[in-house]
């Protein structure tokens, strides 16, 4: 019996897009007959840089702007979606980062509460 655990997504991400990307990436990996990555046991934050590098673990972007830059640069991921979708999504999210620039956390929460 095997269990799959995925912790990189959180409540700030769109669950439908996250799941779509995970499933498509898995299918592409199967189609290309890529080997499964090594199992990771333990807390990566407690590992040395060399240990994380050996396992292929990289730090995720810490801001929305950095995540969008990484998305645009990753042709494998952007290739999973229609170009018009990627352009629209990235454009909207970049506008969001511009709108939130300079706001304190309370103001950001107030804005999101009003919108949603």
Model pLDDT for residues 18-61, shown as the tens digit of each residue? 888 889 888 989 999 999 888 888 899 999 999 999 998 988 89
Direct distance between the N- and C-terminal alpha carbons of the chain, in angstroms, rounded to an integer: 40
pTM across the whole model = 0.77
Name every residue whose Cβ is closer than 8 Å to that of residue 15 and which is 6 or more positions away in sequence: 9
What is each CA distance from 51 to 16, 45, 59, 81, in whole angstroms?
32, 10, 13, 33
Whether residues 6 and 22 share a domain: the answer is yes
Whether residues 51 and 89 share a domain: the answer is no
What's residue 5's pLDDT? 75
What's residue 60's pLDDT? 87
Whether residues 44 and 74 share a domain: the answer is no
Assess whether pLDDT exceeds 80 at residue 113: yes
Q: In whole angstroms, give the CA distance from residue 57 to residue 91.
A: 28
Considering its fold, how many domains does the chain have in total?
2
Whether residues 86 and 37 share a domain: the answer is no
Assess whether pLDDT exceeds 90 at residue 100: yes
Whether residues 69 and 100 share a domain: the answer is yes
Span of 4-13, 21-30, 106-115 with lowest mean pLDDT: 4-13
Give residue 83's domain range.
Answer: 61-116
């Amino acid at each position: 019996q095997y269990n799959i655990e995925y912790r990189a997504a959180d409540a700030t991400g769109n669950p439908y897009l996250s799941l779509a990307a995970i499933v498509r990436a898995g299918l592409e990996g199967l189609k290309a007959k890529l080997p499964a990555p090594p199992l990771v046991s333990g807390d990566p934050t407690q590992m040395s840089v060399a240990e994380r590098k050996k396992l292929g673990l990289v730090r995720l972007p810490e801001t929305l702007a950095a995540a969008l830059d990484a998305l645009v640069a990753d042709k494998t991921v952007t290739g999973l979606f229609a170009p018009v979708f990627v352009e629209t999504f990235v454009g909207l999210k970049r506008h969001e980062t511009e709108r939130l620039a300079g706001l304190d956390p309370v103001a950001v929460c107030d804005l999101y509460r009003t919108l949603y």
